[in-house]
Amino acid sequence: MKIAITGGTGFVGKELTRLLHMQGWEIYILTRHPKQSSLGISYVEWLTEGAQPEKQLEGMDAFVNLAGASINAGRWSNEQKKEIHDSRISATKEVLRILKALDKKPEALINASAVGIYPASQSATYTEASTNYGNDFLAKTVIDWEQLADQAKALGIRVAYGRFGIVLGKDDGALPLMALPYKLFGGGTVGSGRQWLSWIHIHDVARAIQFAIETKTLEGPFNVTAPNPERMKEFGKEIAKALGRPHWIPVPSAALKLTLGEKSRLVLEGQQALPVVLQKHGFEFTFPHLQSALADLYK
């Protein structure tokens, strides 16, 4: 299999590249700063003046679009919110331009998305059939992102959107920041503790993307979340248990709002999103439960 990946040098992209490379796939990583290619991994320059990545991307079986500025970096200023939105839109527009330029179209485009498309709720359960979308900044960004990627269908390409939950990795993503207070013996319940966290182990994210590439009947949205979401209070207790630390000092909502502003919604609000599409298509999670996921990450 030959696959092109945008955002291949990011958190999810690195794990996906590692997984597919181990299985002998030919990988083409689109990047502004290409480096020396190695066996099975080629770096293709894009989003720079004069770049013509389409000349190196004929014959791809699939495209995976993960490109976009991190939502975790710093407090959200108006400028950063614009970068989070516009980086995803501009990268996806370039993906569409490349796809149109190719003589042989890939079979599938797997586009990143997020469960942030659903409104925050302590009582609702969201599946891919849910059409109740949020109206905050992140939800609007995700809606724009999915609608743009959907245009690839007009080229005869199967399009699927992986709505990522909170991706857990030991050294990247949200977990290191969430675990830090516990490592310093100061961890405890964040906010009310009743907000949902739809989490997933980074290894299962990469496996889910590969599954979506290979499953020709999978299209449209699919929630990339473990089948057993947790409320924040229980999530914190499991981190404490995995690290052998106490869970005792609460973090008030007001303090987080003062420190993080609008970005505090990432931890003070949440959605219970279930991976119905993946499971209906036969996907089996390596880490369906938080306890086993954390045990693997901190082993």
Q: Could you state, in chain order, the average pLDDT of each consecutive group of 10 residues for the chain (299 residues)?
A: 96 97 97 88 95 97 96 83 96 98 98 97 97 95 98 98 97 90 93 96 98 98 98 96 94 82 86 98 98 96
Amino acid (1-letter code) at residue 112? A
- Assigned token pair, 15: 């794990």
What pLDDT is stored for residue 129 in this prediction? 97
| Of the candidates 104, 17, 95, the residue with the CA atom closest to the CA atom of residue 60 | 104
Which residue segment(s) compose the domain that 293 sits in? Answer: 2-297
What pLDDT is stored for residue 251 in this prediction? 86
What pLDDT is stored for residue 220 in this prediction? 98
* Domain at 93, CATH number: 3.40.50.720
> Contact 175/297 with Cβ under 8 angstroms?
yes
| Long-range CB contacts for residues 228-231, cutoff 8 Å, separation at least 24 | 228/288, 228/289, 228/290, 229/165, 229/196, 229/197, 229/198, 229/199, 229/272, 229/273, 229/274, 230/196, 230/197, 230/199, 230/290, 231/193, 231/194, 231/195, 231/196, 231/197
For 16, what's the count of Cα atoms within 13 Å in the CB-facing half-sphere?
A: 30
> Contact 260/177 with Cβ under 8 angstroms?
no
Q: If you ran DSSP here, which 8-state letter would residue 23 be given? A: T
- Whole-model pTM: value is 0.95
Coil, strand or helix at 21: helix
- Cα 239 to Cα 176: distance, rounded to the nearest angstrom: 10
Domain count, the chain: 1
Across 66-116, the runs of DSSP E, i.e. the strands, are: 108-114
What pLDDT is stored for residue 38 in this prediction? 84
Stretch (H or E) spanning 212: helix 202-214
Dihedral of alpha carbons 9, 214, 202, 194, sign: positive
For 268, what's the count of Cα atoms within 13 Å in the CB-facing half-sphere?
A: 17
- Cα 150 to Cα 159: distance, rounded to the nearest angstrom: 6
Angle at 245 between CA 242 and CA 247, to 5 degrees: 100
What pLDDT is stored for residue 183 in this prediction? 93
